[in-house]
Chains A and B, each alone.
Chain A
Amino acid sequence: MVHYPAWDQDEARSIVSSLAHLEGATLPILHALQEEFGYVDPQAVPLIAEALNLSRADVHGTISFYHDFRTAPPPRKIVKLCRAEACQAQGCETLVEDLAREHGIVVDSHHGNQDAVVETVYCLGNCALGPSALVEGELIGRVDADRIAALCGARQ
């Protein structure tokens, strides 16, 4: 499980300035902030806007466009479950139903103080060994509902 430090505006500022020289620095900066803190706090918007000579609207627009960027601290664990066609052909939708029915885990539900969240992604490039999941950078093939529940630290 990844533990992120609390948002630190000074640390964020130094991350922004260390990458501001890149051509098209916005995404590399957002990734670096999210890697450090687990999310991109709205306080980062004016920092990035100033460093890159952009409007705050531009920066906010970029953050809000991409599925990856979070604007609030992440759950302690994120299990990304592929639900694209190749995994559908290998039963991922049945898996999603089993997860809800047998383990009480509802995919893409962020309610409550859950330790782990299962999120939908579309394609992890493991289409011959699906259904697939990505957990903290590790790709797992041929998963079933029990395996996903175990990865979540399981409320059986």
Chain B
Amino acid sequence: MSEAIRIYVPVDAAALSVGAEAVAQAIAQEAQARGIAVDLIRNGSRGMLWLEPLIEVETTGGRIAYGAVAAKDVAGLFEAGFQSGGKHKLCLGPTQELGWLKRQQRLTFERVGVTDPLSLADYRKYGGLKGLEAALALSGQGIVDEIKASGLRGRGGAGFPTGIKWQTVHDAKSTQKYIVCNGDEGDSGTFADRMLFEGDPFLLIEGMAIAGIAVGASKGYLYIRSEYPHAIRTMQCAVLKARNAGMLGSAVLGSRHSFDMEVRVGAGAYICGEETSLLESIEGRRAIVRAKPPIPALQGLFGKPTVVNNVLSFAAVPWILDHGGKAYADYGMGRSRGTLPVQLGGNVRRGGLIELAFGISLREIIEEMGGGTLSGRPIRAVQVGGPLGAYLTAKQLDTVMDYEALAGIGAMLGHGGIVVFDDSVDMAKQARFAFEFCAKESCGKCTPCRIGATRGVEIVDRIIAGHERPKNLAVLRDLNRLMTDASLCAMGGLTPMPVMSALNHFSEDFDRPPPEALPQAAE
């Protein structure tokens, strides 16, 4: 019998959510029934989520994609000879030729969807560990210098230069330092961290190890939110494998450097995405935001100098060390260098992960790549950067994805999530939700956020109900100014961003005839 046919079926949670597991089982059963030897590989997702489950077959002419495949299609696929790339109505052609992928510049996500996420052999075969090897040949300062040269800025949302943060921790004197990866990806509309955890976990481990070696930290913590059970399992397994293979431990890749890490699981608190509250959570306390200074780089986890970076920041590091900081900086525009993994979701026809150099416009992403709304109705609003990001109008979509360009129109890039709404959206309700969410998730430390969010819900309710609208609108604007200026962290400080953008760009939704008195919903 000839060699087994390699078939890829994603194990990514999004693919599983639309039936990838049943497809994998059907392929195994059908292959067995037909006496065909199949090597079933569970890869990450290519990021074309509307085509999930997207399966691939390895042929002499490269990998051929089929999607979206349901378990009931599998027999027909075998009948059509898909195991050798045969024609079928679900055949999409060679994966590499798919326009949606070809248009991207995948650096961080180069292996996601390509490899078996938990195979270190695959990881190495596709260029993994080269960054760590390069780092081991440099001094700590040498590594920090490469990161500075890359222009990498924190991908969590604040956009602080990563190299400067690392320099501060590098220069701090302490017998114990820590690396903390913020994997509390709580922003609605974002899923790049999750796809990376599940699709290329060793990349994150490599990035954290490089950070540890650069600043002299021997211990790392990866904090993942509990809403991501698949990601937690994959990362825990990858950490064990990395330790067994000598990628982590007392002699990283046989060097004199020691670095090990642990996965810690969140417990359903959005605020833990704020770095100081995340540190409190790892320490075992209520995740109450800390006042800064002192900054975590000097007094972070357990009071020790700590690098806290986002998943995508650490994940960019191996490529930078492998190819050089300058090569990374050659991507992008202005003060936004490198690539940004954009996550396109909400009411959109073709949602998924798009990694591109900074500088593409929202319109190109949403209309050209995303194909407009899934409902087929006109786009009315687009929220960029998660629940604390601004709502933009369809007219503002020519803005480019870049830290400064978005800030220039009173919006923010955040973690790169884009959520599309069609014209059925009620923006007054969205403004109310922004406050409601803040009220539920506020840590409660500072008054503007704790009290302001609740008062905000009440004010928006009064406006919707038509009570003294001009006066309540004035109070709403005043409250927003206060929360922006006086909140301790971004939770209270940025909640006004979705609220004010809704009010300023969609004021007609705050001026509708009040709804008839409705019967109270059951509580």
Contact = CB atoms under 8 A, between A and B. Distances in A.
Interface of A: 22-28, 30-31, 52, 54, 58, 61-62, 64-69, 80, 82, 84-90, 100, 106, 109, 121-130, 132, 134, 137-142
| 10 smallest beta-carbon distances between A and B, as pairs | A128-B351, A26-B284, A127-B345, A84-B188, A141-B17, A66-B267, A89-B346, A67-B268, A65-B286, A68-B268
A66 B185 CA distance: 16
Interface stretch (B76-84, B392-400, B402-410, B419-427): B419-427
A84 B267 contact: no
Interface of B: 13-14, 16-18, 49-50, 52, 185-191, 193-194, 226-231, 262, 264-270, 281-287, 302, 343-348, 351-352, 374, 383, 387, 417, 419-422, 425, 430, 433, 437, 441, 521-523
Contacts of B189: 84-86, 123, 127
Nearest to B421: A89
Contacts of B17: 126, 129, 132, 139-142
A77 B455 CA distance: 35
B22 to A, nearest CB: 12
Nearest to A65: B286
Contacts of A61: 285-286
Given A123-B227, A129-B17, A87 B188 contact: yes
A138 to B, nearest CB: 7
A121 B347 contact: no
A25 B264 CA distance: 10
Nearest to A89: B346
B206 to A, nearest CB: 22
B343 A127 contact: yes
B504 to A, nearest CB: 18
Contacts of A54: 284
23 contacts: A24-B282, A66-B267, A66-B268, A85-B188, A89-B419, A89-B421, A90-B346, A90-B347, A121-B227, A122-B186, A122-B441, A123-B190, A127-B188, A127-B190, A127-B343, A128-B49, A128-B50, A128-B352, A129-B14, A129-B52, A137-B229, A139-B13, A141-B17
B343 A109 contact: no
B230 A139 contact: yes
Given A85-B189, A89-B347, A123-B188, A139 B267 contact: no
Contact of B284 (A27, A89, A128, A142): A27
A28 B267 CA distance: 10
A86 B522 contact: no
B267 A86 contact: no
Nearest to B21: A138
Contacts of A138: 16
Contacts of A80: 227
A155 to B, nearest CB: 15
Given A27-B264, A128-B49, A128-B352, A122 B269 contact: no
Given A122-B270, A128-B352, A129-B351, A25 B284 contact: yes
Given A85-B433, A86-B345, A87-B188, A126 B14 contact: yes
A7 to B, nearest CB: 19
A43 B179 CA distance: 35
A82 to B, nearest CB: 8
Contacts of B351: 127-129
A95 to B, nearest CB: 14
A121 B267 CA distance: 12
B346 A125 contact: no
A30 B190 CA distance: 27
Contacts of A24: 264, 282-284, 302
B361 to A, nearest CB: 20
B286 A62 contact: yes
Contacts of B230: 139
Contacts of B18: 129, 141-142
Given A128-B345, A139-B17, 7 more contacts: A26-B285, A27-B264, A65-B287, A66-B287, A84-B437, A129-B49, A129-B351
